[in-house]
Amino acid sequence: MEEECCPGFDPTPWDGKILEWENKMFVRDKVKTFFFIPLNFGSVITKLNEKVEKAGATIPDRLCLSDDTSRWNMDIYLAVDREIPDAENVTMSGKFLSKVYEGPYKDTGKWCRDYQSYVEEQNLTIKKWYMWYTTCPKCAKKYGKNYVVIINQVTP
């Protein structure tokens, strides 16, 4: 039997939803990228997962947001249910709009254009842009689906 690295993902609760967060807790870390391609994502997420586990905390919905801050760096935000020692703890508050996409990562530009149109149809404006890659490439291949959720903080 194949080892499960990433749990399966149900897109239904995340597709076309408005999320109201009030001080939603995350731990933040940095991933090195090369022209937006993550280089050390696996080791960074493993390190964060170990800290969460050591603290006896959980990761609600296995939510991990990515914020490309440049071609060379990505900040990741791992949702947690309590503060984590020896980690950068941050909170997010506001209205967030999520929409699920499925397909190869090369379609990211197409998804982003579609999402931008979707936001405009909702009479909203994007304040902050995040991506949630719900499974690693190996598990996406195993499941036969590569779900990516765009979650942006939005304003009217």
Per-residue pLDDT at 136: 85
Q: Count Cβ atoms below 10 Å from residue 41 Cβ, excluding itself.
A: 18
Using CA atoms, how far residue 9 sits from 16, 48, 60, 69, 93, in Å, is 16, 20, 13, 26, 24
- pTM as predicted: 0.92
Per-residue pLDDT at 1: 40
CB distance 83 to 129 below 8 Å = no
DSSP per-residue codes, the chain: ----SS-----GGGTTEEEEEEEEEEEEEEEEEETTEESSHHHHHHHHHHHHHHTT---GGG-EEEEEEETTEEEEEEE-SS--TTSEEEEEEEEEEEEEEES-GGGHHHHHHHHHHHHHHTT-EEEEEEEEE-S-HHHHHHHT--EEEEEEEEE-
* Per-residue pLDDT tens digits for 95-112: 999 999 999 989 999 999
Start-to-end CA distance of the chain, whole Å, equals 48
State the average pLDDT over residues 32-50: 92
* Per-residue pLDDT tens digits for 22-32: 999 999 999 99
Confidence of residue 64 (pLDDT cuts 50, 70, 90): very high
What structural domains and CATH numbers belong to the chain? 16-155 (3.20.80.10)
Per-residue pLDDT at 3: 58
How far apart are the C-alpha atoms of 149 and 86, rounded to whole Å?
A: 28
Residue type, 76: I
- Of all residues in the chain, the percent with pLDDT exceeding 70 is 97
Per-residue pLDDT at 154: 97
In Å, how far from its chain's centre is CA 128?
Answer: 13
* Per-residue pLDDT tens digits for 119-155: 999 999 999 999 999 998 888 999 999 999 999 999 9
Higher pLDDT residue, 17 or 1? 17
